[in-house]
């Protein structure tokens, strides 16, 4: 996995690890999302199920949370799970 522009996850901690999530957003054109818009879930299947039928919820693989230079907690998008 290549995470261009991000600090690599620490293998010894749970901080900034790769995880599945549902992201609440009207548009999918960003590379990072505020923690308040991200709902971490246990699996890719759960992320897809939670997003099903809601146009503003999108299943994704993310890295985070990380503290941004602005002092907010953010998640970095790795991949959308519903793209072909």
Delimit the domains of the chain by residue range: 17-80
Spatial strand order in the sheet of 73-80: 32-34, 73-80, 57-67, 17-24, 38-41
Identify the burial level of 57 via C-beta atoms within 10 angstroms of its C-beta, where 0-12 means exposed, 13-18 middle and 19 or more buried.
middle
- Reported as a pLDDT band with limits 50, 70 and 90, residue 52 is very high
Q: What is the token pair recorded at 58?
A: 């999108």
pTM of the prediction? 0.81
The 10s digit of each residue's pLDDT in 66-77 is 888 888 899 999
């Amino acid at each position: 996995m290549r995470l261009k522009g991000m600090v690599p996850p620490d293998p010894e901690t749970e901080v900034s690890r790769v995880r599945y999530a549902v992201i609440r957003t009207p548009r999918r054109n960003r590379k990072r999302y505020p923690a308040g818009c991200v709902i971490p879930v246990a699996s890719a299947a759960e992320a897809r199920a939670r997003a099903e039928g809601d146009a503003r919820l999108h299943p994704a693989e993310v890295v985070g949370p990380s503290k941004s230079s602005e002092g907010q907690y953010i998640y970095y998008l790795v991949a959308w799970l519903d793209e072909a």
